[in-house]
Structure 1
Amino acid sequence: MFDIGGELVNQESYIKEIIQGDDWMMDILHTVRGLDLPDWWVCAGFVRSKLWDVLHDFKQRTPLADVDVIYFDAAYPSEHIEKQLEQQLRGLRPEIPWSVKNQARMHVVSGLPPYSCSVDAISKFPETATSLGVALDSSDQLQLAAPWGVADVLQAVLRPTACYEQGTDNHYVYEQRIIKKNWHATWQKVHKAEQQE
């Protein structure tokens, strides 16, 4: 449960309501679903930034560097296909900065063992607050993937996922992202989790 202005609400239902109430986000989800990709999700900043905008009472959407679309197709793990899909999406919505990645090959880029599916890949994004994805099923129901839960994103906490924790070979990637992304400059409530000793 999550305390919103003194009201306890179910965290995942709250997130789904926010997204369902955003026509722009829902239109993007319908556009991506039209490609009929296997195990597809729109993820990362697409979800996180919206929730942080709401948390900060922003009336205008914070612009996204890209809209991350992921899918999982082990039979065709080709970057060339991803570029074709981006081109298709640009043909439908040219104003959207599309980024399409097949997670059947992205473990190589991240230097991690192979992923088993898209949600497994989402669980290996660097921050828990970014490890989020949304999709529409065939009956138009909104699906939410949150392998590390949603508490951190709703509390604007930056915490590394297991693959990027302190002491791992990849921890520097998490630390560099915090500096490069500089989320606190846009969303003042964003803060790093207390480090465990």
Structure 2
Amino acid sequence: MREMNIKSEKDITRLIESDGWMMNVLWAAKTLNLDDWWIGAGFLRDKVWDSVSNIAHRPTRDVDLVYFNLKNTRPEADWQYDEYMKKEYPFAEWEVRNQARMHYVNGFEPYASTAEGISNWIETATCVGVRLKDKRLEYLFCYGIQDLIGLVARPVPRFQTTGLMPIFYERIKKKQWRRKWPNLIVLEK
């Protein structure tokens, strides 16, 4: 793999646009016309971390497609989207989740937007999203891009102050991040 020096959003755009599978996933997600949709988490994080680690990208087939709809917060609506996407676009393992209802996972108060939902994911480098808007990539970096491009796993502020740090450490262990990215920097704050 040719090493790519990732320093900016422009570099991330080049990285994603050069990956046909990622672009196909984004085009497929766009077809649902969901309100305030983003694809986040490992879809973007893993690609960047592999690149800055000079590791051949191991695409996760898991795609976290999130959106915000207060009018229908039934889990069954998300499951229907999951099934539809898996049938129509079987090249990915789709998980479609309405952030208007996902606050319950960690016992938080309801979110007001998709961005707020994403900002409460466990690590700062995971609190990222990408989508196609007017045929161009658009990004959501809830905590900036420094941890993403710096190969840093850091809990979001809410996890640091609410006693949820064991979840942060368990995720790193369960997902084997230190094995996948030996140069990963794990910070508590």
Normalised TM-score (structure 2): 0.92
User: Is the contact between residue 103 and residue 110 of structure 2 (CA under 8 Å) also seen in structure 1?
Assistant: yes
User: Is the contact between residue 128 and residue 148 of structure 1 (CA under 8 Å) also seen in structure 2?
Assistant: yes
What are the within-5 Å matches in structure 2 for residues 29-48 of structure 1?
A: 29-48=26-45
User: Is the contact between residue 61 and residue 92 of structure 2 (CA under 8 Å) also seen in structure 1?
Assistant: no
Q: Which segments of 5 or more consecutive residues in structure 2 lack a partner in the other structure?
A: none
User: Is the contact between residue 16 and residue 144 of structure 1 (CA under 8 Å) also seen in structure 2?
Assistant: no
Give the counterpart of 2:128 among 120, 128, 132: 132
Structure 2 residue aligned with 1:183: 177
What are the within-5 Å matches in structure 2 for residues 1-197 of structure 1?
A: 11-59=8-56, 61-64=57-60, 66-137=62-133, 139-165=134-160, 167-193=161-187, 195=188
Task: Show CA shifts across 1:153-182 (max 9, x none).
Answer: 1111111101111x4222222122122122
Residues 55 and 141 (structure 1), Cα distance of their counterparts in 2 relative to 1, 3 Å cut: same
What CA distance in whole angstroms lies between the structure 2 residues aligned with 1:125 and 1:149?
Answer: 14
User: Is the contact between residue 127 and residue 161 of structure 1 (CA under 8 Å) also seen in structure 2?
Assistant: yes
What CA distance in whole angstroms lies between the structure 2 residues aligned with 1:156 and 1:183?
Answer: 10
What CA distance in whole angstroms lies between the structure 2 residues aligned with 1:27 and 1:154?
Answer: 23
Aligned AA (2:45): R
Secondary structure at the residue paired with 1:100?
strand
Q: Which runs of 4+ in 1 moved over 6 A?
A: none
Residues 95 and 10 (structure 1), Cα distance of their counterparts in 2 relative to 1, 3 Å cut: closer
User: Is the contact between residue 61 and residue 91 of structure 2 (CA under 8 Å) also seen in structure 1?
Assistant: no
Q: Which moved more, 1:90-99 or 1:125-134?
A: 90-99
Secondary structure at the residue paired with 2:71?
coil
What is the total number of aligned residue pairs between the two structures?
186
Secondary structure at the residue paired with 1:94?
coil
Q: Which segments of 5 or more consecutive residues in structure 1 lack a partner in the other structure?
A: none
Normalised TM-score (structure 1): 0.88
| Percent identity (aligned) | 33
What CA distance in whole angstroms lies between the structure 2 residues aligned with 1:18 and 1:97?
Answer: 21
User: Is the contact between residue 47 and residue 132 of structure 1 (CA under 8 Å) also seen in structure 2?
Assistant: yes
User: Is the contact between residue 67 and residue 98 of structure 2 (CA under 8 Å) also seen in structure 1?
Assistant: yes
What CA distance in whole angstroms lies between the structure 1 residues aligned with 2:53 and 2:163?
Answer: 34
User: How far has the Cα of 1:190 moved from its partner?
Assistant: 1.0
User: How far has the Cα of 1:87 moved from its partner?
Assistant: 1.0
Aligned AA (1:141): R
Aligned AA (1:12): E
User: Is the contact between residue 104 and residue 117 of structure 1 (CA under 8 Å) also seen in structure 2?
Assistant: yes
CA RMSD of aligned residues (A): 1.6
Secondary structure at the residue paired with 2:101?
helix
